[in-house]
Structure 1
Amino acid sequence: MTRVFCIGELLIDFVAENQGNDLSKAINFTKKAGGAPANVACAISKLGGKSSFIGCVGKDPFGSFLLDVLKNENVDISKSQRANTFTTLAFVSLAEDGERDFVFSRGADRELKYDSSIKKDFDRNMIHLGAATAMLGGGLEEAYGHYFFDALTKDAFISFDPNFRTDLWKDNEAVFIKKCMPYVEKSHLCKFSLEEAFLLSGKDTVKEACEVLHKAGAKIITITLGKEGTFVSTDNMQHTVPSIKVSPVDTTGAGDAFIGCLLYQISQLSNFNMVFNDDELLMKMVEKANKAGAITTTNYGAIIALPTLAQLED
Structure 2
Amino acid sequence: MKKVYCIGEVLIDFVAERQGSDLSKANQFTKKAGGAPANVACAISKLGGNGIFIGSVGNDPFGKFLLKTLKNEGVDVSLTQLSDTFTTLAFVSLSEDGERDFVFSRGADKELKYNPDLRKNLPGNILHLGAATALLGGPLEKTYGRYLFDGLTKDMFICFDPNFRIDLWKDDEETFIKKCMPFVEKSHLCKFSSEEAQLISGKEDLHDACDALHKVGTKIITVTLGKEGTLLSMNGNKKVIPSVKVTPVDTTGAGDAFIGCLLYQISDLGNFEPVFEDFSLLEKMVATANKAGAITTTNYGAIVALPTKDQLDK
- TM-score w.r.t. the length of structure 1 is 0.99
Q: Could you say which residue in structure 2 is the equivalent of 1:81?
A: 81
Q: Could you say which residue in structure 1 is the equivalent of 2:304?
A: 304
> What SS does the aligned partner of 2:68 have?
helix
Letter in 2 for 1:215: K
Judge conservation of contact 2:9–2:37 (CA < 8 Å) in 1: yes
Q: Per-residue displacement from partner, 1:183-213 (whole Å, max 9, x unpaired)?
A: 0001010000000000000000011000100
Residue 121 (structure 1) shift: 1.3
> What SS does the aligned partner of 1:305 have?
coil
Judge conservation of contact 2:18–2:95 (CA < 8 Å) in 1: no
Residue 270 (structure 1) shift: 2.4
Judge conservation of contact 2:2–2:270 (CA < 8 Å) in 1: no
- In the alignment, is residue 287 of structure 1 matched against residue 287 of structure 2? yes
Q: Could you say which residue in structure 2 is the equivalent of 1:272?
A: 272
- In the alignment, is residue 35 of structure 1 matched against residue 35 of structure 2? yes
Letter in 2 for 1:305: A
Q: Per-residue displacement from partner, 1:128-160 (whole Å, max 9, x unpaired)?
A: 000000000001001111111011000000000
Letter in 2 for 1:299: N
Q: Could you say which residue in structure 2 is the equivalent of 1:129?
A: 129
Query: 1:15, 1:276 → 2: CA distance?
Result: 39
Q: Could you say which residue in structure 1 is the equivalent of 2:242?
A: 242
> What SS does the aligned partner of 2:159 have?
strand
Identity of aligned residues (%): 71
Query: 2:118, 2:174 → 1: CA distance?
Result: 32
Q: Could you say which residue in structure 2 is the equivalent of 1:205?
A: 205
Residue 108 (structure 1) shift: 0.2
Q: How does 1:65-104 map onto structure 2 within 5 Å?
A: 65-104=65-104
Judge conservation of contact 2:18–2:96 (CA < 8 Å) in 1: no
Query: 2:135, 2:172 → 1: CA distance?
Result: 11
Q: Could you say which residue in structure 2 is the equivalent of 1:258?
A: 258
Q: How does 1:101-250 map onto structure 2 within 5 Å?
A: 101-250=101-250
Letter in 2 for 1:126: I
Residue 90 (structure 1) shift: 0.1
> What SS does the aligned partner of 1:304 have?
coil
Residue 252 (structure 1) shift: 0.0
Residue 51 (structure 1) shift: 1.0
Residue 235 (structure 1) shift: 1.5
> What SS does the aligned partner of 2:129 have?
strand
> What SS does the aligned partner of 2:304 have?
helix
Query: 1:246, 1:77 → 2: CA distance?
Result: 33
Residue 117 (structure 1) shift: 0.6
Residue 122 (structure 1) shift: 1.1
Q: How many residues get paired?
A: 314
Q: Could you say which residue in structure 2 is the equivalent of 1:26?
A: 26
Q: Which runs of 5+ in 1 are unaligned?
A: none
Query: 1:100, 1:18 → 2: CA distance?
Result: 11
Residue 120 (structure 1) shift: 1.5
Letter in 1 for 2:234: T
Q: Which runs of 5+ in 2 are unaligned?
A: none
Judge conservation of contact 2:132–2:162 (CA < 8 Å) in 1: yes
> What SS does the aligned partner of 1:303 have?
coil
Deviant stretches of 4+, over 3 Å: none
Residue 236 (structure 1) shift: 3.1
Q: Per-residue displacement from partner, 1:260-289 (whole Å, max 9, x unpaired)?
A: 000000000121011111111100000000
Query: 2:73, 2:182 → 1: CA distance?
Result: 32
- TM-score w.r.t. the length of structure 2 is 0.99
RMSD: 0.5
Query: 1:153, 1:54 → 2: CA distance?
Result: 19
